[in-house]
Amino acid sequence: MAALKYAGLDDTDSEDELPPGWEERSTKDGWLYYANHIEEKTQWEHPKTGKRKRVVGDLPYGWEQETDENGHLYFVDHLNKRTTYLDPRLAFTVDDNPSKPSTRQKYDGNTTAIDILQGCDLTGKVVIVTGANSGIGFETARSLALHGALVVLACRNVARATEAMRKILDEWHKAKVEAMTLDLSSLRSVQRFAEAFKAKNLPLHILICNAGVFASPWTLTADDLESTFQVNYLGHFHLVQLLQDVLRQSAPARVVMVSSESHRFTDIKDTSGKLDLNLLSPSKSEYWGMLAYNRSKLCNILFSNELNRRLSPYGVTSNAVHPGNMMYSALHRNWWVYTLLFTLARPFTKSMQQGAATTIYCATTPELESLGGMYFNNCCRCLPSQEAQNEVTAAALWELSERLVQERAGRLAN
């Protein structure tokens, strides 16, 4: 502990800081002891607090413990190719007999994806991340792959996905990553992706629906739907529908839907209170890019809640997340106003690693095992808008989505 920071976390209290000349060390069985270099003595108790502490948990993924020729322990970080005599777990030591419980939140808006995965071994887990070639999606996929998961980068541009895969392998040659083509603006492409994935006979433990477009010019997809609605929402709906049998067979499994706080500033029902397809997939004259984005993100939360209600009895849970405010990513390229706003707000925004944290939290943290139907921001559960919590609207959206896909089923079969 002392002044150690590991993976962005500082787990020290001021009262635990060591006096000058003292050093913290650990034994092979995890107990801490303290060396006084001035008086040349060692002791078990902390020189200021009198507490005994121990190291807990497995080493962070990629680390190994070795012994040098003098019998001293040292630690090898294979991911970053470095060695140290300082146990990387010292940032997470605990009191052997704590006098009072800690009230500090474990993770927050400053937490990174790598922070959350500290000590996590995902070997044997299979993950799909849509839109994984850049931005938050790339950091999500990278973080999972560096901790042992087999990660499928599901992207529209396979060349960019392959380049993203190469970057991950350059960082750690043992990473298990694959690139597959998935164009969410085409239901046929979604169908082909699902068929290709199933042909691999792999389980699917985590499905992260991350891909999205923002403030795009009005266009219709090949399925005659407004592109923001289809890419951000309906394409993911169809993907989950096609893969739900694999998810169920792989249970416990998780789905994470990337939404946005902007879902709070819109509605998807008409004045009579019914779902209105003209609001979800508007004509060119009724289209405003920001509003279309907000509506698609509201759909994501409603879908996540309904998906959890339907599949949680089978061991598949779903949660929705907000990654962060005003984050610089490829999403901004379609709207110069967003670029300007980001330039002004950049000192206060999250990094891509921080943006991926809440997704990683919902995808992997043990405390959410078997829990779903929730919305998270800054790795903390919060309530979405009242409309996003409307179970009747969620069920109606599901039925409408099934109908939209079924109406195009004949076209998909050709």
Tell me if 153 sits within 8 A of 175, measured CB to CB: no
| Topology annotation, domain 14-95 | Ubiquitin Ligase Nedd4; Chain: W; (2.20.70)
The pLDDT value given to residue 17 = 72
**Could you say which of 34, 61, 107, 293 is catalytic?**
293
- Domain spans of the chain? 14-95, 113-413
- Mean pLDDT, all residues of the chain: 85
pLDDT surpassing 50 at residue 346: no
For the segment 82-111, the average pLDDT, to the nearest whole number, is 62
pLDDT surpassing 90 at residue 357: yes
CA 79 from chain centre, in angstroms, equals: 20
pTM: 0.76
Helix (H) or strand (E) holding 206: strand 206-209
| Domain 113-413: CATH class, spelled out | alpha beta
**Which is it for the CA torsion 108, 109, 114, 120, positive or negative?**
positive
Quickly state the pLDDT bin for 147 (edges 50, 70, 90). very high
| Cis-peptide, bond into residue 252, ω within 30° of zero | yes
Of the ranges 55-69, 117-131, 225-239, 321-335, which one carries the lowest mean pLDDT score?
Answer: 321-335
More confident residue, 161 or 18: 161
pLDDT surpassing 50 at residue 68: yes
Task: Give percent of the chain above pLDDT 70.
Answer: 80
The pLDDT value given to residue 243 = 98
Contacting residues for 59 by C-beta, under 8 A, at least 6 apart? 65, 75, 88, 89, 119
pLDDT tens by residue, 289-329: 999 999 999 999 999 999 999 999 999 999 999 998 744 54
Tell me if 51 sits within 8 A of 45, measured CB to CB: yes
Quickly state the pLDDT bin for 100 (edges 50, 70, 90). very low
The pLDDT value given to residue 2 = 30
The pLDDT value given to residue 196 = 98
The pLDDT value given to residue 9 = 31
Q: Beta-strand (E) ranges in 39-114? A: 41-43, 53-54, 63-67, 73-77, 82-84, 94-95
pLDDT tens by residue, 7-45: 333 333 445 677 877 777 777 666 777 777 777 777 777
pLDDT surpassing 90 at residue 199: yes
The pLDDT value given to residue 44 = 72
For the segment 78-92, the average pLDDT, to the nearest whole number, is 66
Same fold across 14-95 and 113-413: no
The pLDDT value given to residue 18 = 78
Active site residue 293: yes
Counting beta carbons within 10 angstroms of the beta carbon of residue 351, is it exposed (0 to 12), middle (13 to 18) or buried (19 or more)? Answer: middle
